[in-house]
Amino acid sequence: MNIKSKKSFIFTVIVAIILGLAFTLSINAYYVNNRGLRSVPADVYIASHTTTNERNRTTDAMSTWNNNALGYTGLSYAGVTLMQNYNVYDGMNCVTKITYAGYIGYCFYVKTSYLGGGTYIDEFDITISNDSNITWYTSTGTCPSSDVDWQSNILHEFGHALGLGHTNPTKYFDFNGIQQRIVMYQGLSYGEMVRNLSYDDMSGIFYLY
């Protein structure tokens, strides 16, 4: 190998490493729990003991999934309900405010069905903690470091309702090398706002729907 060809070889190797690294960083990390909702749009009711701001931030989160991932109305706001049941098959997808097992939010697959080689979600319920030690931030501004952002939390839970599971990495690098926070990462810190979907979150929805 002469000097010129050696330099060419080294350059080729470097380019290959860079491209390989970029590809590795942009590999999808999403995980799916099932085949998603059996039928869309899914009507979503919100318990009446939630505040107006909590309901507004909940519908904002629904719009984020509808507009940025699905491209159509997959989650439809059906109104307020007096029902506060959760994980009970009653024909209603409901968001209620109650503490469950110490979680700040939890999505139950109330009823699923097996169809065409996969499991689909027929009904879901979401609980948001009403623990008095948690101060929920329910406005549209910057969440204080002492509060937990309601919209970020419910956005994550709606991801489960659509069929997505938890991801292991917190961050995702797109093909441009831009770092994005993954909504479906299983943790949310005080003061943290994750109100926008990453490409990884959207890729999971593209796969399911």
Closest CA to 197 of 163, 169, 175, 172: 172
Task: Specify the pLDDT at position 22.
Answer: 34
Q: Which CATH architecture has domain 42-208?
A: 3-Layer(aba) Sandwich (3.40)
Task: Specify the pLDDT at position 174.
Answer: 63
Task: Specify the pLDDT at position 179.
Answer: 82
What separation in angstroms does the CA of 39 have from each of 125, 176, 203, 208?
A: 16, 35, 20, 12
Phi then psi for residue 28, to 5 deg, are: -65, 140
Segment-wise mean pLDDT, segments of 10 residues, the chain, 209 residues: 42 36 48 91 97 98 94 94 90 94 94 92 97 96 98 98 91 71 94 94 93
| Tokens matching residue 28 | 């999808």
